[in-house]
Structure 1
Amino acid sequence: MEETVGEVLRRLRLARGLSLRQLGNAVPVDCALLSRIENGKQFPSASITKAIDAALGADGELVLTRSRDDPSRPRARVASEDMRRRALLTGTAGAAVAGLLPEQPGPGGRLGAADVEELQRRVTRLYAMDFKHGGEGLWRTAVGYADEANRWLDQAIYTPRVGRRLLSVAARMHMCAGWLAADAGRQDVARSCYTEALGQAKQADDVEVETHALANLALQANVLGNPRQAVRWAEASERAAARPGGHPRLRVIPQLRLARAYALAGRRADFEQAMVRARTHLGRADGRPVERWCSFLTEAEVDGIEGTSALEMGQHARAVRLLGRAVDGHADEYARSRALYRTRLACANLGADRDVEAAARLADSALDDLAGTVDSWRVARELDLAVVGLAPYRSVPAVEAFLTRRGSHSSGAPRG
């Protein structure tokens, strides 16, 4: 369930160690008003929300939540669950875009470099929020940003230099929207966003986004159980990454997608070679900063992908070793990834030596990682697999505790 504006305010305030009075002095606003907002007794105005957001350094999170929950906002009716991107813009995303982006240029309006960089900051902020909360509560907003970027491309006035940058940033926002939609289980929306990003990246001659888009299409094909298609996408990503102009770390990602596809297809020799190439490219990557979306790409992530693939090929002892390293290597900032690998490690323990208690403890720890704030279809699907594997051992106290707890946290059936 999504947090209310009051709940977000309280979380942000406490995370910064501020009392109501201290925050009131910083805004400035009456601390009694802050208390009423936190307790759901008063809905804040847009101007007050922006002032509080700025005082907390929340980068728009509070404004986004307020815009989503605004009782005065007309609620559009969407005919079916198969939402199309234009319909999405009338919902949460449309309100969030209006609240967070610079003033929207109408037809013939002028767009400057500062407007485009503000959009790029929103891409970065959405990825940061994704690491903390998962894609379910964010994907509509990101789709709205992406649609707004397209509108700017089509209707605004800008210099050629600004236009090139806008095209590149629009592609990055589509990538972000696709990733968030995929994490929420909205695979049709994700594919549409990735395809749009790929087209814009080619127009902008942006090697990084082109590589990323092709790699994520490969990832999606793997998730949907089509390794042959994944190989084709990943090989195209590999070719894009080899072109001049990209970050050296980009060359790791196609190899990881290839490795997973080869594992799913039972091509063990090809899998081993892809993993060697991935680790070689990672070792050669220099110290240049990477964009926020790529910050996950560490030795721990490579261990996690190799361990996951080993599990899929029935190499349980190898999977236990590698997935254990992946869990240990993911800090709290990447709690969702850690939950994912803990859940897979639980399944690996069941396959390796039937260590039921260890598997149950790991699965239970994955729920701790989620901590009630991460809503991710990907993790939920993995946890459901752990439930199936552990259910026959319900007489074991640790298993019973996990199954009971998982039942109370379950988010329902996976969404396609």
Structure 2
Amino acid sequence: MASSTVTSSPSHRPPRPNLVFRQLRGQRSPAEFAAAIRRAAREIGEQVSCDARYIGRVESGEIRCPNYAYERVFLHMFPGRTLTDLGFAPRSSVRGRRARDADDTPPAHTANPTNTTSETTGAYESYETRDPNDPHDNHEESDVLRRAFMTGGGATVAAASLGPLGLAFDAAAAGRPARRAGASDAGALEETVRRIRVLDDRHGADGLYRRAAAPLRAAYALLDAGTTRQTTADRLYSGAGELAISVGWLAHDSGRFDDARSHYAEALATARMNGDAALEAHAFCNTAFLARDAGRPREAVRAAQAAQRAARPLGSPRLMSLLALREAGGWAGLADRVGCEQALARAHALFERGPSDADPEWMTFYGEAELEGLEAQCWSTLGDWRRAARHARRAAELQDPHFTRNRALYTAELADDLARGGRPDEAAAAGMRVLDLLEEVQSSRIHRMLAGTARVLLPHRRASGVSAFLDRHASVPRKA
């Protein structure tokens, strides 16, 4: 999306509720309507990070016009209607400048076999999330932050190289004198976190990590700049903490454990400074996962338990379920089968309570597939290969296709469990599927898992399919 350098006089009118959109939702809850929108998006090859909060922002009038990805989804859901028929304002009226043909015409939605462009083309809605009553929330500042967080060259993301990610830090923004941050800055920060998560879901962390460091610096610069409103300050602290966790995860998944630990600690400190229990629970959750992967299982247990203490007042059974799984992973690392089984039982019982409006936005990845995948990892750590393979296979079968990295991860787990469980031919077939997925995914973690599987299969080269897998795996370029 092109950015503007032309300012306009901000409107002082309060947001006008979108009653048409509210009527279209009908008797469905905001979370149910958001789920329907995500399903409709998948039907046309889009991926939107729609949740109950987004629905609330639309219905309240905070989002006056959706981005192009949402526009395509809404017009697919309600054929024959225009955006104005759905209660939205014309796009030209919310951009703060005269419409230009090249910018105000939605780009053609062409089929892409790698499905990599849908959430990265015109995905930012900074001009739709302005606080008209914030004197510091002017269009020029919003535009600088849009460049700092969201733009960076081309509109597409190449599957192999991840191309221009739109996450480059703008040197001009870095050199500008500090000014008070506004609501649009908080919106830019939140959207950056969503985009990083979407790109990670599809491509893995390796091509993202270094590009994500600049937005993180910009986020903490916003905190230093301060704001005139406590609600905006809270959003900025939460957004900066969530971005630190996202960048920490990119470091974690790409094997940079020390960097990940530092980013998670930064997020935890941000949570503690702002009294943000949800952010604290998330930071401890990821710390537990990192400790398990780094061979510190006792720390994993303690961090997972700390996360559960922080999360208990939040009222999200699904979050508590995930945290119980993090604890189970730590017990498995300590070879404590009883402790692991007890934590797994809690995780399943909590999961069965179903989703709720209290579930954090970052937990969109946590469904039945992730539950099965994390349980598979526990049984694998305990050396129960047959049970691990059963859960890993189910995880791979259940995973939503757009979570490409997780499909590769679960299938790699399956290949390793089958190899160690004495089923080399099945392991080789699963390994081949992982290699196919690695054409789209860049994850050092998955590469390491597959390399371990290859070592286990070396003595079984004569088994059906093993030689072909080993040869193909050996031909995959190794990262420096």
Give how far 1:361 is off: 0.1
1:288 alignment partner, one of 348, 357, 362:
357
Check 1:367–1:289 CA distance in 2 against 1; reply closer, same or farther (3 A cut). farther
1:63 alignment partner, one of 144, 151, 162:
151
Unaligned residue ranges in structure 1 (runs of 5+) = 1-14, 17-24, 30-51, 70-91
1:151 alignment partner, one of 193, 213, 221:
221
Check 1:303–1:26 CA distance in 2 against 1; reply closer, same or farther (3 A cut). farther
Structure-to-structure mapping, 1:181-220, within 5 angstroms: 181-220=251-290
Give how far 1:66 is off: 5.2
Give how far 1:205 is off: 2.0
Separation of aligned partners in 2, 1:159 and 1:112: 8
Structure-to-structure mapping, 1:96-107, within 5 angstroms: 96-98=168-170, 106-107=176-177
2:430 alignment partner, one of 349, 362, 367:
362
- Aligned AA for 1:336? R
Separation of aligned partners in 2, 1:400 and 1:97: 46
3-state SS in 1 of match to 2:355: coil
| Alignment partner, residue 398 of structure 1 | 465
Answering whether residue 406 of structure 2 is matched by residue 337 of structure 1, we say yes
Give how far 1:253 is off: 2.1
Answering whether residue 302 of structure 2 is matched by residue 302 of structure 1, we say no
Separation of aligned partners in 2, 1:187 and 1:27: 44
Check 1:147–1:133 CA distance in 2 against 1; reply closer, same or farther (3 A cut). same
Give how far 1:161 is off: 2.4
Percent identical pairs in the alignment equals: 34
| Alignment partner, residue 88 of structure 1 | none
Write out per-residue CA displacement over residues 343-401 of structure 1, whole angstroms, 9 at most, x where no aligned residue: 2212222333x22111100011111222x121101111111111111111223351121
| 2:150–2:167 Cα contact (<8 Å) kept | no
The RMSD of aligned alpha carbons is 3.2
- Aligned AA for 1:209? L
Structure-to-structure mapping, 1:8-407, within 5 angstroms: 27=102, 56-57=121-122, 63-64=151-152, 96-98=168-170, 106-242=176-312, 244-245=313-314, 247-288=316-357, 290-352=359-421, 354-370=422-438, 372-396=439-463, 398-407=465-474
Separation of aligned partners in 2, 1:277 and 1:141: 38
Separation of aligned partners in 1, 2:396 and 2:387: 14
3-state SS in 2 of match to 1:284: coil
Write out per-residue CA displacement over residues 292-332 of structure 1, whole angstroms, 9 at most, x where no aligned residue: 53111112211111122112212122112211111111121
Check 1:65–1:337 CA distance in 2 against 1; reply closer, same or farther (3 A cut). farther
Aligned residues: 343
Give how far 1:245 is off: 3.1
| 2:304–2:326 Cα contact (<8 Å) kept | yes
Separation of aligned partners in 2, 1:26 and 1:374: 36
3-state SS in 2 of match to 1:225: coil
- Aligned AA for 2:377? T
Check 1:358–1:212 CA distance in 2 against 1; reply closer, same or farther (3 A cut). same
| 1:248–1:285 Cα contact (<8 Å) kept | yes
Give how far 1:56 is off: 4.2
Q: TM-score, normalised by structure 1?
A: 0.75
- Aligned AA for 1:98? D
Separation of aligned partners in 2, 1:98 and 1:236: 38
Unaligned residue ranges in structure 2 (runs of 5+) = 1-44, 47-99, 105-116, 125-146, 158-163
Give how far 1:291 is off: 4.7
Give how far 1:57 is off: 3.2
Give how far 1:160 is off: 2.5
Q: TM-score, normalised by structure 2?
A: 0.65
| 1:93–1:143 Cα contact (<8 Å) kept | no
Separation of aligned partners in 2, 1:54 and 1:271: 38
| 2:300–2:326 Cα contact (<8 Å) kept | yes
| 1:106–1:156 Cα contact (<8 Å) kept | no
Separation of aligned partners in 1, 2:400 and 2:118: 26
Check 1:98–1:326 CA distance in 2 against 1; reply closer, same or farther (3 A cut). same
